[in-house]
Structure 1
């Protein structure tokens, strides 16, 4: 008995100094409670020892039945249970507790030893951490810039909504692996260059700003992204990954290119106007002198005089084309029937070119497009004229076909100008729309026809493309915006 009393004394000393609440429950009544139990429950020991007091009644109503089942199961089967629950203390305050309950023998009967830890502050901290994480996740997810995080192997860890919208790939498709780099950068050499730079940043701790790359989005469109990246390090300063912010600057780049092209065209137009003006006077003098010489010299030099007149005429035609380009002002937008434009262009070409042995077929039916009628007319005149003049003398028949393809699901129409003429090789195609580039003999062309046509179509928000093969002919495709119905 002395040993048992000594053991109980030691237990009470330890219990009274424990940072946890410790109490013994026997048949639903508390028969022992330490000082910390008073503090956590808000009840004095006299109240705790009262026959009417039940610890289960402190448990909040929504969790009480669960606690009761655990209590009964422990008394029935014995053992130990660890559970969390919320209680309302004697002062009306809510507390979160962790209860470690064990069935023990007590005064020749089974009782339950409960060790209770107040985890209210821990739970509040966890709640604040969750709120903070949710807040950070919300910022990351709803940021209007592409944000991704990579681990040290280059695998995607975080992929926000803007990254999904810009790239077209969802987080479910990309998180957990590095396949995204093959999708965004399909060119292997380019991909290796980008990936090696990112890995170097992770290892060396580089900070990169305004690093531009061209990606291919899921829909196949190319986009230019400006990256701002910094590596992530652990508590010991070791690199563990990379965070990257990406801004889609595709539209900005396009605007810059358009502005530069506009400035270049404006400068070229002013230069062309000055040059044309300066050349007109001497050409007029040459023409007058040629007429005078023709009347004085007679038939002996008639051919030479004819050549002079012809060259003056060609030069004047080129100057007229240059002046026409330099005087282009703002686009006069309107609804235009493209069929009428093509018909007018064909008639004009027939007046300036010999088309007697050339078949010109207009298959374009009535379609409304948005644009400037006079500029589009000039564009089609230039292209149809080129097609007519591309005649291959080795072929019996030269034809020029103008056709239209309507794209039902898109807001564009495609007009094709097809000829079976001499065609162009790849090098000529590459330079075909550059200013003053021509393959014709000196004096037979200004080299501005396709250049001006391309510029006009770009002003209309459209596109010109050329497909050609030497000896087989050329197909020029023009995309224009339809009038919405």
Structure 2
């Protein structure tokens, strides 16, 4: 069913496509807010009616199979479409018999062909208007039925509540007659319902009580006021009873007062108990007020119940300013953090019971003075053993504390010196936390604040275990205090508050010496050792790798040299083979030593010396590739150099070294039959070379660090050789040429190493424009597979 005001949906069924098209266009033109769906048969129309919410239907009567009249009958038989208006489209001058059949099937209207567009639109509008009116009526009826049901249920619930309550409930009319007297009221007064309902209040409860007490209050309530009062009535069987009455206006339509609802409760025993408690309270109050020591009582919600004279004299706040509320907390303890801590301790005391003795707090008095109070507190328990409040006895020890401060004044020079030390400590790069003898924070420099994400203003004079949320550091302080060691040092893994990355922080705590038997404060130094630990790890890995890289060729050299020196009779061919291995391994050692020497130059800030000369980029790359023939076994190498004869002003030997280093990485980290691709081309004012592999790839962080000396992306793997210096040296060589080098990679996506060199105008080589370059292995544009 379409919602009133929303787009309405009309089903049009005709077995002639042209008729469907014309009807759809007419409706779309004259009724733009009407959605039309069409069907070419009765069966198709019924299927649409079952799946789409419709507001009306136009059905062609003469259709093969199921005609429009049969379809109308079936639509009217379905609950979802029974109330939907249906207009039948008949042939010109349809018979009365046909129209009668249509009306019996439930048709709401007829229209004959040829169809007049204005008549069609008018009939559809009427049909949809009727549909809209029916829907509005249905909704109005449903809403009315719902409201009637709700009112009926509410009335029944009200009657049930009134009759089931133990309170006496009555309703009095504006003529002072009882309209309602619940069962509890009947039982209380020993009356039957017929003795009360409709009778004047003065007859039921007595004319004297009515005129003197009830009528004035009933008049106030009939004027719209809610009245509460106590009533004394004499009963023959009960005697004098005290009742608490709440009289409320009963309002009808328009808010007009139509009577009085009176709820009555017998409070005779309750009032007697209150008087007894009041007398006892006055007796206790006299004892408390005459005590010369601060005494107060807080209920379980932290509200002040008792505030004696001594509390008034010490704090300056009178009892009438304090009793009944909890605002005294904010007056005595304006610091919100400290106040919350005290309230938490009070809550723990109430939950756990017991006592607290010798607990000291500073309070701010009404005149602004700060006083120190020593407290002894005990939980008050009710008859069931449950807590009902806390009694606190406080002693003003301000004078004693002021006397102790005399000793502090004698140490002003020391404090001044400490201030200078504080300034010095704040300026150092390491984090510093200083605590006093009670393990409260008294100093933090900026590094410590940033590391802990905690400002000194919030942590000042707060215990370490409250101020610091990082548990390992709190445990560190606990160990220091428990073991009373003069120095404790340990490393901690620390998540940086900003980036979330792990950092290694060295925590060293020194305990300062105090007098005999006195506990001193602590000075804790927080040093970021992340880089140092990483460097130590990399150095260890480098030493292990270097030893392995040096030992492998040395072992071969020594082994074949021993064979040659053993005196055995080797023929000339074998001796040559042995010498070739020795020479090859010696070259490997030379390369390692050269890398270490280059790194040494880089470390000392010296630039790698270059011997620049015009060089063909194709020849340079071919020379690097030629040296990698053995390593390329099983690999597929693709080289694309559209300008192989392009000449660059470079140190050819150093550039070969760069290319060999990048090729070495590409070959080592590629799968067994993987492809390595070398591409070179001019890019603006630079010449760019990329070497791409299909290897394991690297994360962005690994790619950023790949050019750091000794760095290996997978340090755990010993199957891949190398010192981790090749890329470091390659970057220095490229930058010495005025170029730059970088990596593009992703995990599992392979790696592309790219470097660019500045292009300089050089004299062309002879026949440079016509000569095609051929590398020793393959053309510079094409594929090579050595397998």
Please confirm whether the aligned pair reaches a TM-score higher than 0.5, indicating the same fold.
no
Query: Larger RCO: Structure 1 or Structure 2 (Cα < 8 Å, ≥ 6 residues apart)?
Result: 1
Which protein is bigger by CA-based radius of gyration?
Answer: 2
TM norm structure 2: 0.28
TM norm structure 1: 0.41
